[in-house]
């Protein structure tokens, strides 16, 4: 399958999805949404994957929704925003860990993409902001919900109200960004992170992600009980038995994802 607005590659145990509209600062258009959905289908069907990497070409990770597409949508504006939210939700709920490789500006919808990723590695020159207020817009990809839950309401409101573009390094302590690296080392840093994840049980990774994400919105007692129940199920898996055997035999485990 040939894509118009993204690049897709499988390597190193990960599916690498790269936004490829550099002239438009990788703005989110209906075509981008459709092709991201297709790329996630392909990643979900690929055997042996441990992670998905979401990156971009050019000087921006993503500058947000394509305002021309938003304007042209007219009365179909609600349908466009529904499709944006749907792809954000799918990315957030994707069963594999999703890593954002932020090479430049991540604004508005670009920030909302980051919020749907599990881990974020950013270049030193990267800047992150909400930016909706700069154009009289409101978040439409879940930003008003996910951003305060990620970094707290006070920080979230500052980014939303001011529309400022903040250096990625300033958001490490806030918990939005995991690591900031020199621009030239972004690809290598993400590859190292993928390499660490790729040695782990894919079944374990899926279940860990589900426990964390689902537990965030549940009372502690319910989430703790879910952890016990999933743990009991996991104890019967091949991967857990293989991990224990590898420990006893002092060798690397050979996980199969079952």
pLDDT tens sequence across 240-256:
999 999 999 999 999 99
Residue 147 lies in a domain: yes
Does 90 lie in the same domain as 174?
yes
Residue 254 lies in a domain: no
Does 39 lie in the same domain as 17?
yes
Q: Are strands 51-56 and 60-62 parallel, antiparallel or unpaired?
A: unpaired
pLDDT digit string (tens) for 174-187? 999 999 999 999 99
pTM of the model: 0.94
pLDDT of 70 over the 80 cut:
no
From residue 102, give the alpha-carbon distance in Å to each of 105, 190, 217.
8, 10, 27
Domain C-terminal end among 158, 178, 198: 198
User: With bands split at pLDDT 50, 70 and 90, how would you rate the model's confidence at 68?
Assistant: confident
Contacts of 183 (CB under 8 A, 6+ apart): 103, 123, 124, 125
pLDDT digit string (tens) for 114-163? 999 999 999 999 999 999 999 999 999 999 999 999 999 999 999 999 99
pLDDT of 77 over the 80 cut:
no
Residue 21 C-beta-side C-alpha neighbours within 13 Å: 20
Per the structure, the count of domains in the chain is: 2
pLDDT of 73 over the 90 cut:
no
Q: Give the pLDDT of residue 2.
A: 85
Does 140 lie in the same domain as 47?
yes
Task: Identify the domain containing residue 81 by its residue range.
Answer: 6-198
pLDDT of 71 over the 90 cut:
no
Q: Give the pLDDT of residue 81.
A: 87
User: Which two three-digit tokens encode residue 64?
Assistant: 């947000």
């Amino acid at each position: 399958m040939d894509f118009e607005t993204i690049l897709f590659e499988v390597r190193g145990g990960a599916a690498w999805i790269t936004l490829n509209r550099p002239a438009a600062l990788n703005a989110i258009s209906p075509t981008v949404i459709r092709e991201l959905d297709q790329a996630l289908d392909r990643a979900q069907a690929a055997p042996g994957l441990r992670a998905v990497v979401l990156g971009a070409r050019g000087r921006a990770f993503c500058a947000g929704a394509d305002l021309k597409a938003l304007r042209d949508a007219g009365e179909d504006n609600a349908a466009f925003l529904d499709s944006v939210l749907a792809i954000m939700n799918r990315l957030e709920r994707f069963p594999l860990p999703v890593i954002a490789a932020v090479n430049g500006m991540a604004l508005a919808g670009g920030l909302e993409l980051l919020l749907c990723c599990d881990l974020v590695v950013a270049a030193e020159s990267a800047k992150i902001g909400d930016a909706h207020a700069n154009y009289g817009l409101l978040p439409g990809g879940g930003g008003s919900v996910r951003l305060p839950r990620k970094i707290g309401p006070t920080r979230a409101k500052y980014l939303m109200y001011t529309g400022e573009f903040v250096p990625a390094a300033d958001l490490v302590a806030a918990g939005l960004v995991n690591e900031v690296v020199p621009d030239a080392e972004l690809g290598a840093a993400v590859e190292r992170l993928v390499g660490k994840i790729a040695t782990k049980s894919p079944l374990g990774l899926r279940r860990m992600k589900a426990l964390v994400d689902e537990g965030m919105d549940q009372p502690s007692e319910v989430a703790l009980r879910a952890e016990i129940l999933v743990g009991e199920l996991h104890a019967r898996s091949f991967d857990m038995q293989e991990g224990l055997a590898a420990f006893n035999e002092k060798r690397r485990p050979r996980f199969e994802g079952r």
